[in-house]
Structure 1
Amino acid sequence: MAAEEVQRGTPGLGVTGDGAAHLVQLVLGLIVVVAAILVLGFVLRRIHGLSGGLSSDFRVLGSVSLGSRERMVLVQVGDVQMVVGVAPGRVQTLHVLERPIDVNPTAVKGADPSFAQRLRTAMSGQGASS
C-alpha cells in the first residue's frame, strides 16, 4: 500500500492539471476585480466632474486651526463671505461678513506667498532650492 501512495503522490502538493486550471481561474478572477475597480473609479470621476458646476461658486479662502479637531474657515459663496466653525460632526456659521475681505496675497506688499504658490514654484523648478 505504501508503494501505491508514493506513485500517486500526496494530494495538495505540486501543481497538477486540476491545480493549474484552478490557478488560472484565480488569476483571471483577480484581473476582472482589478479592472472593475478601475472602471468604477473612472465612472465616478466622470460623474463628479459633471456635478462640479457649483464648485466655482463655493470657495474656501482660508482656515485657522482652533484646536486638535476644530477649525475656523473663511468661505466665499458667490459674492458673500462667511466665517464657519468646523468640528467633528458639526458645521456652524459664525458670522456673515458685510464687506468681503480681500484675500489676494499679492495685494499686500511684503506678504509671503501661500504654501500652494511656493509648492507650485518649487515643482516647476523656477524657485531656488533651500
Structure 2
Amino acid sequence: MRLIALSAAALSAAVSVCVLGAEPTKAAAAMPVLSSPAGPSLLSLVQVFFSLLLVIAAIFGSAWLMRRMTPGHFGGQAQLRVVGGVMVGAKERVVVVELRDTWLVLGVTPNKVSTLHTLPRPDDLPQVTAPVPFAEKLASVIKARRAGEGTQ
C-alpha cells in the first residue's frame, strides 16, 4: 500500500513538472530512490538466479508428475486398450475398448459411460503387444552403435 502511495506521489509530481512547469512537491522530493546508480547488487542477482532455478524445477517436477499420473499408466501391463472410437455429437463418443478377449462398445458422455454392446475379440486380428518403453529402445540403439563402432 505504501508503494502505491509513493508511486502516485511520484506520478503526480512528474505530471506537474512536465505539464504545468511547476516545481516538484516536498513529498516527491523526499521520496526514496528505488534503484541504485551502481547497478544491481550481488544479492539481487543471486535471488533472481535461485528464483529462476525454482521455476525451472517446478516445471520439470510438474511434467514428471503429469507423466506419472497419466491414466492407463498405473501398473505394469495394461489389460485395457482403446481399439477405436468415433464422435457422435459435440461431447459424445462411441468407443471400442479391448479387455483381454472381449471388446466392449461404450457410449461416453460428459456425465456417464455406459456399455452399449459386448462382443468377442475377432480371431483374425493379430495380438497386440505392449509398447517397448523408451528406456529399452534407447539402450538397444546405444548398444547397436557401440557394437558397430567396435567392428570398424
Range class of TM-score, shorter chain: 0.5 to 0.7
Q: Distance in 2 between matches of 1:50 and 1:60?
A: 13
Q: How much is the aligned-residue C-alpha RMSD, in angstroms?
A: 3.4
5 Å matches for 1:30-109? 30-39=52-61, 41-42=63-64, 45=67, 51-55=74-78, 57-97=79-119, 99-101=120-122, 104=125
CA contact (8 A) 1:73 1:85 kept: yes
Any unmatched runs of 5+ in structure 1? 1-9, 105-130
User: How big is the shift at 1:93?
Assistant: 1.0
Task: Give the TM-score normalised by the residue count of structure 2.
Answer: 0.47
Identity of aligned residues (%): 37
CA contact (8 A) 1:61 1:103 kept: no
Any unmatched runs of 5+ in structure 2? 1-31, 126-152
Task: Give the TM-score normalised by the residue count of structure 1.
Answer: 0.54
Q: Which has the larger radius of gyration?
A: 2
Instruction: Count the aligned residue pairs.
Output: 94
Counterpart code for 1:66: V
Q: Distance in 1 between matches of 2:83 and 2:124?
A: 7
